[in-house]
Structure 1
Amino acid sequence: MADESFKGILIDKDDTGYHVSLRELHEQALPEGDVTLQVSHSTLNYKDALALTGSSPIIKRFPMVPGVDLAGSVIASDSPDFKPGDKVLLNGWGVGESHWGGLAQRARLKGDWLIALPEAFTCAQAMAIGTAGYTAMLSVIALEKHGVKPADGEVLVTGANGGVGSFAVALLARLGYQVVASTGRPQESDYLQQLGAAAIIDRNELNQPGRPLLKERWSAVVDSLGSHTLVNACAATRYRGIVAACGLAQGMDFPGSVAPFILRGVTLAGIDSVNRPKQDRIEAWSRLARDLAPTLLPLISHEVGLSEVIDLAPRLLAGEVRGRVVVDVNR
């Protein structure tokens, strides 16, 4: 393949510091892989924002193109599963951390990391969903497999204004659950009600140190925050309920008690989306195609060009960005 140039965001680190820039890159610089893609759309996730700002040691090797999500068309393939022209998507697998990711117009990846783009979605729609919607769907599936039914009572979603939270609210509401959305932005109540939230609480009710056990309230929880919020969510979960832990926006710590797990039989289910087996990914995306109302995507997401990403990253970390950021890498 000719050494064509393309635009991408590159993060590098040397003796002079941490450098992030939008620049011309070359085909020959792409990492090893058996499938080369023309990227259509990517996203700006919380993890990408950490990488772009250097706020956390997300990047495992330099230089690195960030972007944990991408969707596009196959240009060249040595994988038996894909041929030129196929539309595919990717979430996770360390892409954007240890392997060049989606915030560039080209990508070279392992075919085992890719799944076919569901016919229900365009590339832009798939990225409006992205890792956030895929993780939310994995969380919902975990609740269902545990046996939680809509009739069992309220389901708490923390970080409800974020990407994962927004999709969790929308999916659970569409499936008939009574969703209580916790948010630090009560001014966004109308948005959460449009997604299907039955009630809204202030995150301050959950994000401070609490007692080992609280009054039983939640039949289940989807938590994207961790730390005290996760501890308090567990403490108020009903007997034999389940808490799906899928994020750490408040912190990686778990400053709590084993009491909910031993005295109430609460299950704490860890939701890993990065290294999830391919069959789980296909199941989650099939469910998204079935259970997510596409009309909600413009409400949950907005689109920016590749040139806007670097300046937007610190705002996302500051909690100033609602929902999902879709990146059209070709503008």
Structure 2
Amino acid sequence: MFKALLLTKSDDGKLSCAVTDLDESQLPAGEVLVQVAYSTLNYKDGLAITGHAPVVRSYPMVPGIDFAGTVLESSDARYQRGDAVLLNGWGVGEGHWGGLAQRARVKADWLVPLPAGLTLQQTMALGTAGYTAMLCVMALRGQGVTPERGPVLVTGGNGGVGSIAIALLSRLGFTVHASTGRMNEADHLRALGAAELVDRAVLNAPGKPLQKERWAAAVDSVGSHTLVNVCASLRYGGVVAACGLAQGMDFPATMAPFILRGVTLAGVDSVMAPYARRVQAWSRLAAELPADVLARNTRTIGLADAPAVAAQLLAGQVRGRVVVDVNG
């Protein structure tokens, strides 16, 4: 038996969420059984746990789109008992039972070995948010963005993706501007590496198709009008790595930034990214983000605390990253 956060839905559509004792025989199919040590709360987990958006595709469901732990059993030769592994994405926590539990059974193809230089807890202090932030940084660098081209904007600066993106970019020599709706967190954002703060209200309402050229590039996890205004404010040849939709999945834009300023909109997907890119991203995270920065940006909670903190996350009341100790 093991403990898990289990989501159920009644015939009348009422969602319930509770820590429940489950048997290993109830786990879905997969080649690898993992003793989970840590999971985390991401925006998508918040949506699943609160039911604010239909991200869960079947019930009952164990949420948690990522986890880190140790292999207990494996029918795949790539993994042996005792191997330390982590997982991000692949529909785990949406269509396949996820990481907010003490056990998980998954496909071997979904796993990545623990990167050298990181502990299991540190990988979840990064989590899918940190991994996605690195994918965004890799996308910008792949488009030729360098510090000499000018400042880079990071939207959702206090969120998981935003906070890690600020830290990564500043340590690569970029001048980072951070957009946030919580200007009272200025000291925290500057400690991460933000040189200038931008009030979220400047970006989240409808704006002109072309605006003053401010940024050479951007990392956006917000979408909707924010992403439109970011594109309209990029310098000639600017690039935005778009990875989220906290404000909305709509994009009410014009073609003006793309055909008059040569702006590039680079979509970043973390869910189905191929194995080689995942390994590259995690290796770079291990090498480029100091442990003290990670510690300052992270807090740890227990499994029973996850529902309340998930609601706080969606309300914009959570700073940085939240690690869930599933055995705590």
- TM-score over 0.5 for the alignment? yes
What residue in structure 1 maps to residue 117 of structure 2?
A: 120
2:138 to 141, 147, 160: 141
> In the alignment, what sits opposite 1:234?
231
2:152 alignment counterpart:
155
Structure 1: runs of 5 or more not aligned: none
Quote the Cα distance in structure 2 between the aligned partners of 1:12 and 1:307: 16
Query: 1:278-321 deviations in whole A, cap 9, x for unaligned?
Result: 00000100110111111111211100011111122111110011
Match for 2:10 among 5, 14, 18?
14
Tell me the SS of whatever aligns to 1:198. Answer: strand
Code of the residue aligned with 1:102 in structure 2: it is G
Q: Deviations over 1:180-213 (max 9, x none)?
A: 0010000000000000111111011111100000
Q: TM-score, structure 2 length as denominator?
A: 0.99
Superposed CA deviations along residues 258-297 of structure 1, whole A, max 9, x for unmatched, are 1101111100000000000000000100110111111111
- SS in structure 2 of the partner of residue 199 of structure 1: strand
* Counterpart residue type for residue 224 of structure 1: S
Do structure 1's residue 59 and structure 2's residue 66 form an aligned pair? no
Q: Which of 183, 187, 192 is matched with 1:186 structurally?
A: 183
* Identical aligned residues as a percent: 60
Give the gaps of 5 or more residues in structure 2.
none
Question: Is 1:274 matched with 2:254?
Answer: no
1:215 to 194, 212, 228: 212
CA deviation after TM superposition for structure 1 residue 179, in Å: 0.2
2:316 is aligned with 1:325: no
Q: Which residue among 188, 194, 197 is the counterpart of 2:194? A: 197
Distance (Å, rounded) in 1 between the aligned partners of 2:175 and 2:185: 19
- Runs of 4+ more than 6 Å apart: none
In the alignment, the residues of structure 2 paired with residue 130 and residue 313 of structure 1 have an alpha-carbon distance, to the nearest angstrom, of 15
State the TM-score, normalizing by the size of structure 1.
0.98
Task: Tell me the equivalent position of 1:83.
Answer: 80
User: Do 2:116 and 2:283's aligned partners in 1 also have CA atoms closer than 8 Å?
Assistant: no
2-side partners of 1:304 and 1:76: how far apart?
27
1:191-244 deviations in Å (ceiling 9; x for gaps): 000001111110111111000001111110000000010000000111111010
Question: How many residue pairs end up in the alignment?
Answer: 327
Instruction: State the SS of the aligned residue for 1:41.
Output: strand
**2:161 is aligned with 1:164:** yes
SS at match of 2:194: coil
Matched, 1:37 2:24: no
Task: Name the CA distance, whole Å, in 1 between partners of 2:284 and 2:254.
Answer: 34
Cα deviation, 1:106-160, whole Å, max 9, x if unaligned, reads 0000000000011211111000000000000000000001001111111000000
Q: Deviation per CA, 1:61-90: give whole Å up to 9, x if none.
A: 111000001000000001121000000000
Could you tell me how far apart the structure 2 residues matched to 1:258 and 1:92 are?
A: 32
Of 280, 285, 291, which aligns to 2:282? 285
Distance 2:10 2:279 in 1: 40
Of the structure 1 ranges 259-268 and 12-21, higher mean CA displacement relative to structure 2 is found in 12-21
Match of 1:71 in 2: 68
SS of the counterpart of 1:247? coil
| 1:14 Cα deviation after fit | 2.3
2:264 and 2:126 map into 1 onto residues whose CA distance is: 27
CA RMSD of aligned residues (A): 0.7
Q: Secondary structure at the match of 1:233?
A: helix
The correspondence for 2:246, drawn from 215, 230, 249, is: 249
